[in-house]
Amino acid sequence: MHKISIIIPCYNEEEALPYLYKELEKVTKVMSEQEFEFIFVNDGSKDKTLDVFRELRAKDERVRYVSFSRNFGKEAAIFAGLETATGDYVATIDADLQDPPMLLEEMYKTLQTEDYDCVATRREDRKGEPIIRSFFARKFYQLINNISDTKLVDGARDFRLMTRQMVDSILELREYNRFSKGIFGWVGYNTKWISYENVERVAGKTKWSFWGLFFYSLEGIIAFSTRPLAIASLFGILFFIISLVFIAYIVTKTLLWGDPVAGFPTLICGIFFIGGIQLLCLGILGQYLSRLYLEVKRRPIYIVKETEKSKIK
Ligand code: UDP
Ligand code: MG
């Protein structure tokens, strides 16, 4: 018999939770040989999510929960869940039933019978998603796979089942700027990918806006590639060469035809162009520097306000 921990990060999910819990119960019935533990993480929800946790806990001993003092983000919620989990196998799953919990049975079997340490999921398509969003998502995966050694799978979901060994490895990465999709890949191990059709969330609203996703993808690039830093040096070399050619041209021209005052527009264009590139490079540097700044402060990744054991009222 094995113990399986299921981690559910929740941010304003009071509507979706009852559906999810019902599905999870079904799974535990199908996999009745195994012991279960549900770890609900309340990521500073503004609705009654925590109350739902408390109710679930009151009627089901397998329910455990961690409640943050504010919203720390899904990455922090997953990390808190991984730290709290005690199972031999650990799963992470979204609260909105976009990932079918019934797959857990198949995933568990795979880990038992085949030589894998992790079964992860991806969606087949991006159906039901705005076209612009799909386009940028695809471009992001192309870009990061080009410039990073850690490969990311397009359409990868955060629904996965891992062995205790892999979880322990992930817990060793204590960085503050957490980009889970990269971290899961970075630790290595054998991962089997299974895919299913994209479904809409069962209730509630998505927490992601276009810009939210945009900055999240920047986070991923900065956390898993230092290649952008090289852009500054490349531009430097390029402009050095251009300036040499330009100097040769000016000198020749002046020697041959003299030097009438002209070229003011050229000058302005040049200043703007090079100034712009300098700012771009400074900006890239700043992005890395700011991550470094946050990292050296060694702030905790999350702050817990209440758990099922510390409940006072
Ligand atoms: N989530 C979270 N903290 C946040 C945002 C989201 O814990 O700050 C959780 C959310 O409750 C859900 C999961 O992360 O269980 C995925 O969120 P969502 O469904 O909004 O993302 P999408 O499926 O649209 O990518
Ligand atoms: Mg969702």
For the stretch 196-205, pLDDT in tens is 877 777 677 7
Whether residues 161 and 264 share a domain: the answer is no
Average pLDDT, the chain: 86
- Asked if the model's pLDDT at residue 8 lies above 90, the reply is yes
pLDDT band at residue 141 using 50, 70 and 90 as cut-offs: confident
User: How many residues does the structure list for the chain?
Assistant: 313
Whether residues 46 and 107 share a domain: the answer is yes
Say how far apart CA 119 and CA 142 lie, in whole Å. 23
4 within ligand 1 shell (Cβ under 6 A): no
Q: Taking a C-beta distance cutoff of 8 angstroms, is the pair 4, 39 a contact?
A: no
Work out how many domains the chain is built from and give that number.
2
Whether residues 249 and 285 share a domain: the answer is yes
Residue 217 domain-assigned (yes or no) = no
**Half-sphere exposure (CA, 13 Å, Cβ side) for 21?**
21
164 within ligand 1 shell (Cβ under 6 A): no
Closest C-alpha residue for ligand 1 atom 11 = 10
Tens digits of per-residue pLDDT, 261-303?
A: 677 777 887 888 888 888 888 888 888 888 888 888 888 999 9
Q: What is the pLDDT of residue 78?
A: 94
Tens digits of per-residue pLDDT, 159-196?
A: 999 999 999 999 998 888 888 888 888 888 988 888 88
Contacts of 280 (CB under 8 A, 6+ apart): 231
Whether residues 265 and 145 share a domain: the answer is no
**Tokens (6 digits) for 204:** 């509630």
Say how far apart CA 120 and CA 142 lie, in whole Å. 20
CATH code assigned at 102? 3.90.550.10
Instruction: Say how many Å lie between the CA of residue 8 and the centre of ligand 1.
Output: 10
Residue 214 domain-assigned (yes or no) = no
Residue 222 domain-assigned (yes or no) = no
Q: Taking a C-beta distance cutoff of 8 angstroms, is the pair 105, 179 a contact?
A: no
Whether residues 104 and 193 share a domain: the answer is yes
Place of tokens 């230092």: 226
Whether residues 83 and 154 share a domain: the answer is yes
Amino acid identity, residue 77? Answer: A
Q: Taking a C-beta distance cutoff of 8 angstroms, is the pair 31, 108 a contact?
A: yes
Q: What is the pLDDT of residue 311?
A: 67
**Tokens (6 digits) for 294:** 């946050």
223 vs 36 pLDDT, higher one: 36
Say how far apart CA 165 and CA 159 lie, in whole Å. 18
- What residue numbers bound the domain in which 185 lies? 3-209+301-307
Whether residues 153 and 280 share a domain: the answer is no
Q: Taking a C-beta distance cutoff of 8 angstroms, is the pair 65, 34 a contact?
A: no
Whether residues 251 and 199 share a domain: the answer is no
Quick check: pTM over 0.75?
A: yes
Q: Taking a C-beta distance cutoff of 8 angstroms, is the pair 294, 177 a contact?
A: yes
Residue 221 domain-assigned (yes or no) = no
Closest C-alpha residue for ligand 1 atom 2 = 74
Tens digits of per-residue pLDDT, 97-106?
A: 888 888 899 8
pLDDT band at residue 313 using 50, 70 and 90 as cut-offs: low
- Asked if the model's pLDDT at residue 258 lies above 80, the reply is no
C-alpha distances out from residue 309 to 57, 58, 312, Å: 10, 12, 9
pLDDT band at residue 80 using 50, 70 and 90 as cut-offs: very high
Q: What is the chain's alpha carbon radius of gyration, rounded to the nearest angstrom?
A: 25
For residue 205, the ligand 1 atom closest to its alpha carbon is 20
Q: Taking a C-beta distance cutoff of 8 angstroms, is the pair 261, 219 a contact?
A: no
187 vs 150 pLDDT, higher one: 187
Tens digits of per-residue pLDDT, 26-79?
A: 989 888 888 999 999 999 999 899 899 988 888 988 999 999 999 998 899 999
Give the 3-state secondary structure of residue 164. helix
Q: What is the pLDDT of residue 91?
A: 95
pLDDT band at residue 86 using 50, 70 and 90 as cut-offs: very high
Say how far apart CA 34 and CA 111 lie, in whole Å. 14
Q: What is the pLDDT of residue 21?
A: 92
Contacts of 191 (CB under 8 A, 6+ apart): 116, 117, 118, 119, 120, 160, 184
Whether residues 201 and 238 share a domain: the answer is no
pLDDT band at residue 312 using 50, 70 and 90 as cut-offs: low
